[in-house]
Structures are given as C-alpha cells and as structure tokens.
Chains A and B, each alone.
Chain A
Amino acid sequence: MIPMLHPLISQRPRMERLRIVLADDHPLVLMAMRDLLEKELSFEIAATLASPTALVDHLRLDLPDVIITDYSMPGDETYGDGIRLVRYLARHFSRARIVVLTMVSNPMIISALYDTGVAAVVLKRDNLAEIVTALQTLRAGRTYYPPGFQGEGTTDSRTKFIGERINSLSPKEYEVLRHFIQGGSMMQVAETLQRSVKTVSGQKISAMRKLNVRTDQELVAFCVESGIFQ
C-alpha cells in the first residue's frame, strides 16, 4: 500500500536548497552560523573552512551557490583577506554569490565591497538572524544591504564622499600616506620626507581622522579602493 502524503506536503512546491560554504577563522562564529543555518530546510551547509587558502582550495573542487566569508582573516600570505580576498573570489568564482560577514562597519569599506561584486554584507554587530534575511534576499534575486546602509545611489554618493575626504587632506598628509601605502615604516617615511617620526606619525593620524578610517588595514583598503595614489 502506498502511504498517503499529507495534502499540504504533497502540494508544497519543491524548492532547490541553497548550497553554502562558510569561511571564518573563529570556530565560534563558524559553529554559530552553522547552527543557525542548519535550522533552515532551504539551506545546505556544504563546508566550513577556517582560512582563505582552505576556502579557495575547496571552491576549486566544489562550487556552492553562496560563499559566506569573514572579511578579516589575517595571516594568509597566499590569498590575503579583506578586499583582496573578496576581489579574488569575485573574479575566479563568479558563478557563486558572495556574502561578506564583518565587524567592520565603515560605510566606505562596505561600499567598496559592493563595488567589488558582493551580493550581501552582513554586520556581525547586527542580529545574527540577518544572515538568513540576506540569504532569502539573494534567493529572491536581489542584493542585500545591512540595516541603515543606503544601497541606492551608493556609487554616486560614495564618490562624492570620498572626493571630499581626499580633498580635505593637506599636501603633507597626502605625502605621508603615499609613502606609507608604498610599504614604508614611519621611520622610513620620516627619513624620506626629512621630517621627524613624531611629525609624520601625527600627520598620518590626522589623515586617518579625515578619511574616517580607524586602523591601518582600513587605511590601506581605503587607499586601494579609492585609487588615491594611482
């Protein structure tokens, strides 16, 4: 005898499960994400990886529908992290949609991520369930923006915003940043510009305030993305 299915089950449209790969260098974040997403029947966690190299190696063998990656996974010399890694993923695995999970809330960096081609940026400071909302938004064929972030017209407003910030730099601050971004230590920058270390450090701090970046990593990401020295 063939068992009867419940009418609601038999009539339910079949939905393809979204295959997801998670990458984060913190085991707690990986486990929390996995725990959350596995409760959703429409998602399938294909793999969890702890480094950019492990992620890329896995993607070469098995490409998922969605890559969820942490923005900051320092220490990987092969693929790096941040914008560099995201750009690599977007270029080499363009058939997968990229979701970036991050503690960074700088709007310029978030905008830069969208410009790179990511489909969603989810802030770790927001409710973790936002990741589910983001994935459902992607499934519907749309781009997800974090709460409070203005997605529409981003490029225009960002370009204007960045232009204003860059124009606010003094010529001396600009020169310090240019040498710093080329890889010089503050001592080397001071020697090159024939100023004291204290002076160039102060000018770098002042420039970072004007550009609204908090760390050296954010500063480098800003300079690379804005093309300020190209």
Chain B
Amino acid sequence: MPFAYNAPKLDGHSFRCAAGLRGLFLETMHSDLTALEHSIATRDVLAAQRTLHRMRGALSMVKMTALSAGLGFVESRLGRYGWDEQAFHKTSGLVLELRKFLVQV
C-alpha cells in the first residue's frame, strides 16, 4: 500500500493516512455523519454517543486530534445532560465542519 496521503492543512485540520485508507475514511465518515444527523433529528442520545465514539476512533486513525477532541466533548456532554442546547449546537457545528472538511480532502 503506498505509504501516506497528506492533505494540505484544511480549515486548520491536518489529515494523514496511508493512501489506501483515504477512500475508506471518506466512505465511513460520510456514513457516520448521516447516522449522526439522524440522531440529532430524532434526539437519540444513545445512538449519537455510539456514532460519536465510532467517529472519534476513525479520526484518531488519521491523526485529526482536534476534531476528535471536539466529538469527545459532545459525547461526554450527551452522557451527562442529554440533548441540551449546548450539545445540540456543538454537534450541529461539528457536523457542518466535518462535511466541509470532507469535500476538501
């Protein structure tokens, strides 16, 4: 497998992974984002926590630590307070940020 795909810094996020993983990263991240948007729409805390956890694992694999930490904050807040206003706005913001990022990768 060709070693690394280094996207330029996009919106302040660096992205690094083996070249063969890029397609799988994009595919799974799009799928997870769709699942997360559904969880936001239905205010499903458990499903959102599972998807956020899964996305954090994927982002850690490509060294996107800032976004991973952002998702971790939301996952933690959901566990404590459910879908309060802050969790809703933060999650919606992260979804938009990730969608924008994925278009550029």
> Which chain A residues have a beta carbon within 8 Å of chain B's beta carbons?
24-29, 31-32, 35, 70, 72, 74-75, 103, 124-125, 128, 205, 208, 214-216, 218
Contact = CB atoms under 8 A, between A and B. Distances in A.
Interface string B53-94: 110111011000100100010011001110000000000000
Interface residues of B, number: 25
Interface SS, B side? helix
Contact of A26 (B1, B28, B65, B68): B28
Interface of B: 1, 17-18, 20-21, 24-25, 28, 49-50, 53-54, 56-58, 60-61, 65, 68, 72, 75-76, 79-81
Contacts of B65: 125
A84 B56 CA distance: 22
Contacts, number: 60
Given A103-B56, A214-B80, A216-B79, A32 B21 contact: yes
Report, nearest first, the 9 A-B pairs whose CB atoms are least far apart: A215-B79, A214-B76, A124-B60, A32-B61, A28-B58, A28-B24, A35-B18, A28-B28, A103-B56
A28 B75 contact: no
Contacts of B21: 28, 31-32, 35
